[in-house]
Amino acid sequence: MADQRVVVVGGGLAGMAAAVALESAHGPVTLIEARKTLGGRAGSFEDPQTAEVLDNCQHVLLGCCTNLLDFYARIGVADRIHWENTIRFVDPRGKTHGLRGGRRLPAPLHLLLGGATFGALSLRQRWQLARAMAAMLRLGRGGRAKLAETAFGQWLADHGQSEDLIERFYEIVLVSALNEQCRRASAGYAIQVLQESLLFHASGYRFGTPACPLGRLYEKIPCRDVRLGTRMTGLRFSGQRAIGVELDDEFLEAQAVVLATHYQALDKWIPPELAAADGRFAGLSQLESVPILGAHLWFDRPVLSMPHAALMGGPLQWLFRKDSEGRVVHGVISAARDWAGRPKDQCLDVLVNQIRSTFAAAREAKLDRGVIVIEKRATFSPLPGVDRLRPAQAPPPGGIANLFLAGDYTRTGWPATMEGAVRSGYLAAEAITGRKFLAADLPLQWPARVLATAKSE
């Protein structure tokens, strides 16, 4: 059956999703991953000092991530996600303002009470926000697609959103979902995040964090031939077809290859003449990579009593409690361009000072240990027009006929997220098999449906 084999290169979420879908519906699949563990950017590593398993960075998912949840169900770990219905905003003086979503009312009514009493914003700001949300709702999914080339900053200005509201709400909610300053991002993607998580379905608002290290989620994926610590060293072609994958000491013949590595390396594998004939590779060099900083912090006493905090004064944007006491916490800065070159000790000083000045319990706390992880090329930036640069998973006519792409950077209709990565893997598997794997989006609940224009839906 070697001639039927599909080789999936890269064991991040995109590669795993492709492999698991193919395994369920196709012939033999081999998934190869250069590292010793699965997960890629949404994975874990062993701390060389303590052998503790740490996540590359805290990852958050939302109830609207229907394909990621489908994938978790397929690999049997859906029950390992811890869900919350309140996002806790904390201002620089330590005051907490919960934005609660009611589960009993349909969207957008589920956020009416929570939004109306959301003390982090003034009455004037709440009113401005409500008007913008109504406008986003009216756009529906069709209307937001037309905003793919518009900067969200422009849209916010056109809809009378003040600078202080942008800083106190939009930036906090969107910078982590988009890994880009919200004003720079495409209005299409910014509005997508807000529509799908806040406005269309009450379940979209659920805020999930894995209850174990990320790497543990992938320990038993239903794919029989997973080869860890196995690096692709080359791709072999015959004419317009890939005939297999070269490893250090083996050649894996393949009927089709799914490349689920990051986009920065693709030109290493594809000969220029084949790439030139395949439009998928034309825009990749114009994608802009944006860093994310993750800080693992161990204090000598509990510093954070709540499970998470969305911090309204930077530089840390989010802080997560990582143990039951709140002594171990994890902080995140997305769109961390200013942090990429800084010495780690300097980063630690600034972040610890922020935590001490925000949380009363942390005033006298001493940092026992800190590990800073800066992913310089964390994700691509969802700037206006970015979809013109993102490749489809399937080859175009005249392209490399049996080479499929998967990865958060491919054209999924989602920003670079775990959800986007899983969608890309499913789309690659759909292109290979002709079977359907993509899970449907959450439907618009009736009040949202009534408020959205019929035309745009």
Binding site for ligand FAD (CB under 6 A): 9-15, 32-35, 40-42, 56-57, 59-61, 231-232, 260-262, 265, 292, 294, 375, 378-379, 407-408, 416-421
- Of the two residues 143 and 291, which places its CB atom closer to ligand FAD in the complex? 291
User: Which one, 194 or 418, has the nearer CB to ligand FAD?
Assistant: 418
Return the ∠ at Cα 46 (arms to 317 and 318), rounded to 5°. 10
Kindly provide the b/e burial profile for residues 180-212, where b requires at least 16 CB atoms within 10 angstroms of the residue's own CB: bbbbbbbbbbbbbbbbbbbbbbbbbbbbbbbee
Q: How far is the CB of 215 from ligand FAD (least distance, A)?
A: 11
DSSP β-ladder status, 251-253 and 44-46: unpaired
| Residue 39: CB minimum distance to ligand FAD, A | 7
Q: Which is nearer to ligand FAD, 65 or 129 (CB)?
A: 65
The least distance separating ligand FAD from the CB of residue 225, rounded to whole angstroms, comes to 14
DSSP result, 257-314: EEE-S-GGGHHHHS-HHHHHT-GGGSSGGGPPEEEEEEEEEEESS----SSEEEESSS
Compare residues 156 and 175 and give the one whose CB is closer to ligand FAD. Answer: 175
Q: How far is the CB of 67 from ligand FAD (least distance, A)?
A: 11
Three-class DSSP category at 61: strand
DSSP conformational letter for 162: -
Helix (H, G, I), strand (E, B) or coil at 32: strand
Between 60 and 452, CB nearer to ligand FAD = 60
Find the shortest distance in angstroms from Cβ 375 to ligand FAD.
Answer: 4
For residue 397, the minimal CB distance to ligand FAD (Å) is: 25
Q: How far is the CB of 15 from ligand FAD (least distance, A)?
A: 6
The C-alpha atoms of residue 223 and residue 201 are separated, in whole angstroms, by 33
| CB closer to ligand FAD, 159 vs 377 | 377
CB of 457 to ligand FAD, least distance (A): 26
Q: How many CA atoms lie within 13 A of 2 on its CB side?
A: 6
Identify which of residues 169 and 380 has a Cβ nearer to ligand FAD in the complex: 380
Of the two residues 128 and 179, which places its CB atom closer to ligand FAD in the complex?
179
CA distance 101 to 71: 25
Query: What tokens appear for 261 in the block?
Result: 């590595």
- Please identify, using beta-carbon distances, which residue of 115 and 294 lies nearer to ligand FAD: 294
Q: What is the DSSP string of 391-432?
A: PPSSPPTTS-TTEEE-STTSS-SS-SSHHHHHHHHHHHHHHH
Q: Give Dmax over CA atoms of the chain in angstroms.
A: 67
Q: How far is the CB of 242 from ligand FAD (least distance, A)?
A: 14
d(CA 379, CA 226): 25
In 3D space, the residue among 40, 28, 1 whose CA is nearest the CA of residue 225 turns out to be 28
